[in-house]
Amino acid sequence: MDLKYLKGRAAIVTGGASGMGRAMALAFAEHGADVAIGSLLSKSSSQKAEGELVNRPGEEELERTRKEIEAFGVKAVAVELDVCDLESVRNFYKTAVEAFGKVDILANAAGITAEHPTSGHSDALWNKVMDVNMNGVFRMTREVLPGMIERGWGRIISIASTAASVGAPYSPAYCASKAAVCGFTRAVAQEGAEALVTANTISPGWVETTFGTEWLSDVAEKQMNKKGEELIAEEKANNPQKRMIQPVEIGALAAYLCRDEAVGVTGQDITVSAGSVW
């Protein structure tokens, strides 16, 4: 098997400095692709809606991930990115094209959530979750899709969630946004089909990332009056495999979807949950 099957390909990853985005970026690089990562950083002045839950890595984490990518012997670019800002999105795409000459692979991992029931849910919080999780995927896809279609090769992979098909009383915005990502992806898969451009979503259950564990901790403390580590332990115990998904598993699946042999896999939502429903 050719381990460098992505040699000559170029990938961009949103939310690429940490968590699942980082895992996908490293997987692409391991298999030979040049990779550009973009993340909203902790120093960002981007307005934070009251109640949103998001992991904003620091500049050091962004730079560390860039070096990890380069260690595979490929080119790497790392920039600050706000997927809610059209100028930032276009700059990220332009920077990648200037560095690599093209973009063959898009992985959308930037995301946020909010714990609030529909009753009393503010417009600002609802709109922020939808803007990052759904509109951010749309903005990035809109940039890369024409070039992929023109060249007759492309892979678009977006992180959805088991929440796209399973409801939760305190996560209406998150559930709605991830369901929207799945629907949008099916449309993109049809649009790119003749040009052999594929589009798929990966729907993980709980993933052991900084974002995932902080989210569980927030749920535990605010809704259950218990410590975060208690709920994390319970989630692991209740999972059929007695564990949480690891980011590297998401990276490996994303890399597989970029193989030439995976061209027939498109318009699909692939669940990675170790057997759990949520």
CA dihedral 268, 273, 277, 278 (to 10 degrees): -100
Q: Under DSSP, is residue 46 helix (H, G, I), strand (E, B) or coil?
A: coil
User: What value, to the nearest 5°, has the Cα angle with vertex 159 and ends 222 and 15?
Assistant: 80
Separation between Cα atoms, residue 228 and residue 226, nearest integer Å: 7
What are 34's strand-pairing partners? Answer: 10
User: Do 66 and 25 form a contact (C-beta atoms < 8 A)?
Assistant: no
> Given the DSSP bridges, would you call strands 10-14 and 76-80 parallel, antiparallel or unpaired?
unpaired
> Given the DSSP bridges, would you call strands 269-272 and 197-204 parallel, antiparallel or unpaired?
parallel
Separation between Cα atoms, residue 129 and residue 175, nearest integer Å: 10
User: Is residue 170 flagged as an active site residue?
Assistant: no
User: Do 41 and 83 form a contact (C-beta atoms < 8 A)?
Assistant: no
Q: Which residue of the set 5, 93, 174, 256 is catalytic?
A: 174
CA atoms in the 13 A half-sphere facing the CB of 54? 26
**Would you name the residues annotated as active-site residues?**
174
